[in-house]
Amino acid sequence: MNQNIIACGQKVDIGTPVVLWTDKKGFECPNKRGRQTCSQHDSSLNDAPSQKSSSYKIKNPETAYKELTKNVYQFVLHYDVCYTSFHCHQLMVESPFKGSHFYLDLDGTLFQTCDLYWKTNTAPADDKKGNERAVHVEISNLSWEALAKQAEYYPSKKDKYKKTEKGWKLDIPDEYKTKILNTPFTAMPSRTFGGRGYFSKKINGKMVRMWDFTEEQYETLIKLSIGLNKLLPGIKLQVPTDKESGKHPLDRLKNFSRFSGILGHSHVQNGSTGLECKYDPGSAFNWSRLHRTFKKSKS
């Protein structure tokens, strides 16, 4: 099975299966755009509306790759507030502008939805230039929607995680459960907090309560990050870290537009310039794990 991620025809093996947009079981980004910082495409593709797939052609892949490596230096992490990647893609298709380069499902399956040359409108950032410099991944996680008392989009009388003898387990509707490639699959958080299971931290002014991502998702995400660093070296193997305390900030960074590496949507967008305030990848995300892994990979 394919293990490569692709940018302008250049490939990097990340050591784990990657389902491409050209595969039968793949998902194609419905709303990709041309990057204004790149020149190897029809410039009319830079802005809406979305075009048919055949319109997105790269004129000179070699030149395009050089432009891409020069201008892309951020890998932005998102939770999709969905049950699964199939569910996430349904919402992307319904939107006239949303898209993401990657989906990361509960079982660790990675989907690439388009060549990384193209821009996807997932995190404009507070300077409204964020999508030009970034690659995005939507990681399946319901975030606060998992708690019945906070659910807005998927109302429920019970929390969507239930405690079992083996630990906390996500209760997934059959319409989404059957779409996970590695079935049967039991979705359980990589870590839990105390007896309640979920984590709770304030991010950009909002208290975000959520269960952690799965162990399978972390393992794939780390491999993807390392692969992206090889393919697009501007994306450094580093996460936001306070130099004095060693802690990993969750709020928007002061230098968000200049940071080179892996960061969250919350790090680039707090809504101070009129855009929607963001909180992903949320309170449960294990930034320390990524930090330790990347530090070890460099030594």
Dist CA 204 CA 252 (whole Å): 7
Dist CA 102 CA 89 (whole Å): 10
pLDDT at residue number 228: 98
- Residue 214 clears pLDDT 90, i.e. is over it: yes
pLDDT at residue number 48: 75
Dist CA 131 CA 117 (whole Å): 12
pLDDT at residue number 232: 98
- Residue 299 clears pLDDT 70, i.e. is over it: no
Dist CA 221 CA 219 (whole Å): 6
pLDDT at residue number 296: 86
Mean pLDDT within 244-248: 94
Dist CA 259 CA 113 (whole Å): 25
Tokens of 272: 């101070």
pLDDT at residue number 270: 97
Confidence of residue 297 (pLDDT cuts 50, 70, 90): confident
- Residue 128 clears pLDDT 70, i.e. is over it: yes
- Residue 9 clears pLDDT 70, i.e. is over it: yes
Mean pLDDT within 116-133: 96
Largest CA distance in the chain: 57
Q: What residues does each domain of the chain span?
A: 4-143+213-298
pLDDT at residue number 47: 83
Q: Which residues contact 197 (CB under 8 A, 6 or more apart)?
A: 161, 163, 168, 189, 211
Q: Letter for the amino acid at 258?
A: R
Contact 277, 270 (CB under 8 A): yes
Dist CA 145 CA 209 (whole Å): 9
Dist CA 72 CA 57 (whole Å): 19
pLDDT digits (tens, 9 = 90+) for 28-86: 999 999 999 999 999 999 987 999 999 999 999 999 999 999 999 999 999 999 999 99
Average predicted confidence (pLDDT) for the chain = 96
pLDDT digits (tens, 9 = 90+) for 134-193: 999 999 999 999 999 999 999 999 999 999 999 999 999 999 999 999 989 999 999 999
pLDDT digits (tens, 9 = 90+) for 79-122: 999 999 999 999 999 999 999 999 999 999 999 999 999 999 99
Contact 148, 90 (CB under 8 A): no
Give the class (CATH, top level) of 4-143+213-298.
alpha beta
Q: Is 11 exposed, middle or buried (0-12, 13-18, 19+ CB in 10 A)?
A: middle
Residue 268's alpha-carbon distances to 13, 35, 190, in angstroms, are 29, 19, 26
Mean pLDDT within 229-250: 96
The CA angle 138-24-107, to the nearest 5 degrees, is 40
